[in-house]
Structure 1
Amino acid sequence: MSTPSNLKRRIGAVALLGLAASVAETGTGFAATTPPSTVHAAAATAAATPAATPARSFHGELPEPTGRYAAGEEVIHLTDTSRPDPWVPSSGPRRLTVTMVYPAVPGTGTPAPYMTLAEAAGVVQRRNLPPSSGITPESLAGVTTQAFDGARPQPGKYPLVLLSPASENPRMTLTSLATDLASHGYVVALIGHTYEDSGETLANGQTPPCAICDHPETLDYGAVAASRARDESFVIDELTHGNTAWHLAHLVNRHRIGTAGHSLGGAAVADTMVADPRVRAGVNIDGTFHPVPKPGQIDRPFLMLGHTPGGSDHYTDWEEAWTALGGFKKWLTVTGSDHFSFSDGDLLQGQAGFPTPPLDPERGIAITREYVRAFFDQSLKGIHSPLLDGPSPNNPEVLFRH
């Protein structure tokens, strides 16, 4: 992969959230696959003014899930003794932090934090967020998630969906999607890919920083996507081979497994499906393929959900991927969206008082939730969703490209 392509795709990959980049880094409002926009450039310019302005008061709140269940949450720590960490081999075997979100009984458990204080401090430090932003480790960790630690699980077995975040983004940036899926009867594994972002708190209490973020011009994104695919298969192993990795693993229906990812996490979805036949359906959310799958490699349901056409250089490889995909497939784009419309990023950016793209951030999250859930309902539960049949007057922003 050439250096110019890497740099274009890497512009803004240094953002945990759109809000973090807008406050701290000129011209880096997006992650992995998206070039700078005038909206985020304006935010970065505003952030570059002298910090004499009074500190903002930031309190983030994610939207409530829309299903009949509450979203229970538990953080687990897994160690893959079969391979050393790919980025820091001297650290020993690959260690992962995974947030499990599951269907729970309403009114049980206690409010779950967005992230640990150490993870939030890593974000603030790496992004060099000024005090005037109002974004502190405490305020970032305290974002209202609508998930509940220790909540009592609903009885039954549910499809498992793995979620992988964008390049340099911790797992928490897909919390809105995770809680909504859980409320509709899914067990969700939010995977933190160690050493690939501003910090994931491990079982030993350490929160190591990113080991691969500083030289995008030499980073092999294909290798990162392939490593994430191995992370995903390992998590599936741990959640389906007995009940030792997680005490609620009995909730998982091991025969109904899907995976979704944002940006580089979307590339990992394709890699996982090529390598692991247990995964029955995949969703690439606004991510360049690394590499594009070959014809015949993926013959299971696949959804491509992206931002406004023409705003990214990844649509050429999406055309190639579309041709190669077999089985049920859909390609949707969302008018007025940007790269972080599909994660928690734009919503939290707006709540912090900074500009957002034309698409209202709450609409971006609602659309992402609705279409990803409809796709998994159809692919993993066998519930036909008319939403996937064609354009809907209730969602005029969503365009069916194929």
Structure 2
Amino acid sequence: MTTRSHRVALAALLTCALAVPLLGAAPATASQQAPAQAKYSVPGTRSTSAPELPRPAGQHPVGRRALHLVDRHRTDPWVPTARGRELLVTVSYPARRAGDGTPAAYMTTDEARLLLEARGLAGVVPAETLAGTRTHARVGAAPARGRFPLVLLSPGFGMPRATLTSLADDLASRGYVVAAVDHAYESLATEFPGGRVMPCVACEEVDGRDELGAVVRGRAADLAFVIDELTDRRRTGALARVIDPRRIGAAGHSIGGATAAATMAADRRVRAGVDLDGDFFVDDAGSGLGRRPFMMVGAANTHSPGSDGTDWAGAWDRLHGWKRWLTVEGAGHFSFTDFPWLGDRLGLPTDPEAPLSGERSWHITRDYVHAFFDLHLRGIPQPLLDGPTASRPEVEFHRP
């Protein structure tokens, strides 16, 4: 399912694994707000302060709302007895005024504890430290006036949606509505309504390319359902009013990137997509996109042309619209998520197979993703996507 380098990165970086706290469609509760900041002592180490996410670069303050969505017309692929397919969606959006609402929490302590325990890392970093991670979004802030493009985000296999929080909030600050999706029974530690922490059934049952392909197709159906719900004013009210349904994109990390391509193939409402270091796992990946644009961004050691085990070359040949294949030297599988940034700030050792710093990883991910969506959902020219630049020597363009 993963290469050796992916497994090494997972073991090293899961110390920083995150999950967004439960925010229902109802008004905010105390559990939605950020906990008081504090320092926690780690036995045998110096005190560790709760880290802070990178500050969004756009002009808009960021609001946040989370929704619990249930598709009653679909059977859950992992637990057929469940009452429909459940999803948790964190929506980040441009807010009207700075300071509205309450600071958004990053995760609950229980979610952090469960995720750390699942990987045998309990005690390395206190769960309270991860739970105290400071964000730049505010729960309950009124949406800005206007209509904005919608971008859907899907996380890596077994990972919660919070691993893409920095990317979501940065895009929101630049004038996007961003929906990060947790897929039921596919996350190690996500808390659903009623305090339910669903086990990662898929983590135990998936073992092979065909099953991973089924995950991709199931997630594509999830994202199509999320689009239906978010653009229905009867369901989401003010959020639906600020979404421009003619400008929708999708992106994801790892298997979430494969999901972005599969969603485009299945749903023509999605106009552009980005895959962040994810193999595709389906034999016809890239087919069905027509002339719609797609970008693949990956670690150089695993996703350069000729790398063993990647299926990017076949997908590339089936893409017939605007396309880019970029690799980042020194990046690892999780370099396109929040993990490296937080790992640096918690003083965790750098993965020798992914020496690119957390700050550099973040800036490269942020710059190329927002440039892609600005070009294809807003029509704003982006010279950054035309070819290599001296300011970003780590980024290589392949097969122009």
Band of TM-score, shorter chain = 0.7 to 0.9
Structure 2 residue 270 is matched with structure 1 residue 279: yes
Query: How far apart are the structure 1 equivalents of 2:261 and 2:182?
Result: 18
Q: CA deviation at 1:311?
A: 6.7
Q: CA deviation at 1:347?
A: 1.4
Q: CA deviation at 1:284?
A: 0.5
The one-letter code matched in structure 1 to 2:107 is M
Q: CA deviation at 1:53?
A: 2.9
Give deviations 1:75-98, integer Å, cap 9, x for gaps: 111110111211112222111110
Query: How far apart are the structure 2 equivalents of 1:166 and 1:142?
Result: 23
Distance change (3 Å), C-alpha of 1:56 and 1:223: farther
The answer on whether the counterparts of 1:239 and 1:245 sit within 8 Å (CA) in structure 2 is: yes
Structure 2 residue 11 is matched with structure 1 residue 12: no
Give deviations 1:18-38, integer Å, cap 9, x for gaps: 532699xxxxxxxxxxxxxxx
Structure 2 residue 98 is matched with structure 1 residue 106: yes
Distance change (3 Å), C-alpha of 1:223 and 1:92: same
One of 161, 182, 186 as aligned partner of 2:176:
186
* Alignment partner, residue 365 of structure 2: 368
Give deviations 1:120-168, integer Å, cap 9, x for gaps: 232122123232x1231x2222211211111222100000000001111
The answer on whether the counterparts of 1:261 and 1:269 sit within 8 Å (CA) in structure 2 is: yes
The answer on whether the counterparts of 1:69 and 1:183 sit within 8 Å (CA) in structure 2 is: yes
Structure 2 residue 65 is matched with structure 1 residue 57: no
Query: How far apart are the structure 2 equivalents of 1:311 and 1:161?
Result: 24
Query: How far apart are the structure 1 equivalents of 2:143 and 2:74?
Result: 33
Structure 2 residue 256 is matched with structure 1 residue 265: yes
The one-letter code matched in structure 1 to 2:121 is L
Q: CA deviation at 1:10?
A: 10
Query: How far apart are the structure 2 equivalents of 1:316 and 1:130?
Result: 33
One of 343, 346, 367 as aligned partner of 2:340:
346
Query: How far apart are the structure 2 equivalents of 1:52 and 1:80?
Result: 45
Structure 2 residue 131 is matched with structure 1 residue 141: yes
* Alignment partner, residue 238 of structure 1: 229
Query: How far apart are the structure 2 equivalents of 1:336 and 1:364?
Result: 9
SS in 2 for 1:82: coil
Structure 2 residue 153 is matched with structure 1 residue 153: no
The one-letter code matched in structure 2 to 1:302 is F
* Alignment partner, residue 21 of structure 2: none
Distance change (3 Å), C-alpha of 1:100 and 1:246: farther
* Alignment partner, residue 82 of structure 1: 73
Q: CA deviation at 1:117?
A: 3.0
Give deviations 1:41-76, integer Å, cap 9, x for gaps: xxxxxxxxxx97347525221100000001111111
TM-score, structure 1 normalization: 0.85
One of 369, 382, 387 as aligned partner of 1:385:
382
The answer on whether the counterparts of 2:103 and 2:137 sit within 8 Å (CA) in structure 1 is: yes
Structure 2 residue 123 is matched with structure 1 residue 123: no
One of 59, 65, 79 as aligned partner of 1:68:
59
Distance change (3 Å), C-alpha of 1:285 and 1:390: same
Structure 2 residue 302 is matched with structure 1 residue 305: no
The more displaced of 268-277 and 203-212 is 203-212
The one-letter code matched in structure 2 to 1:377 is D
The answer on whether the counterparts of 1:19 and 1:352 sit within 8 Å (CA) in structure 2 is: no
Give deviations 1:234-291, integer Å, cap 9, x for gaps: 0001011334135422111011000001001011111111111110000001000121
SS in 2 for 1:76: strand
Unaligned stretches of 5+ in structure 2? Answer: 18-41
The more displaced of 313-322 and 74-83 is 313-322
Distance change (3 Å), C-alpha of 1:22 and 1:200: closer
One of 186, 189, 199 as aligned partner of 2:189:
199
Query: How far apart are the structure 1 equivalents of 2:81 and 2:213?
Result: 22
TM-score, structure 2 normalization: 0.85
The answer on whether the counterparts of 2:255 and 2:279 sit within 8 Å (CA) in structure 1 is: yes
The answer on whether the counterparts of 2:273 and 2:293 sit within 8 Å (CA) in structure 1 is: yes
One of 177, 180, 189 as aligned partner of 2:167:
177
Q: CA deviation at 1:116?
A: 2.6
Query: How far apart are the structure 1 equivalents of 2:286 and 2:180?
Result: 29
Give deviations 1:152-199, integer Å, cap 9, x for gaps: 221000000000011111000000100110000000000011111112
The answer on whether the counterparts of 1:164 and 1:261 sit within 8 Å (CA) in structure 2 is: yes
The more displaced of 222-231 and 116-125 is 116-125
Query: How far apart are the structure 1 equivalents of 2:79 and 2:376?
Result: 37
Distance change (3 Å), C-alpha of 1:141 and 1:191: same
Unaligned stretches of 5+ in structure 1? Answer: 1-5, 24-50
Query: How far apart are the structure 1 equivalents of 2:174 and 2:111?
Result: 28
Query: How far apart are the structure 2 equivalents of 1:121 and 1:316?
Result: 33
What is the Cα-based RMSD across aligned positions, in Å? Answer: 2.4
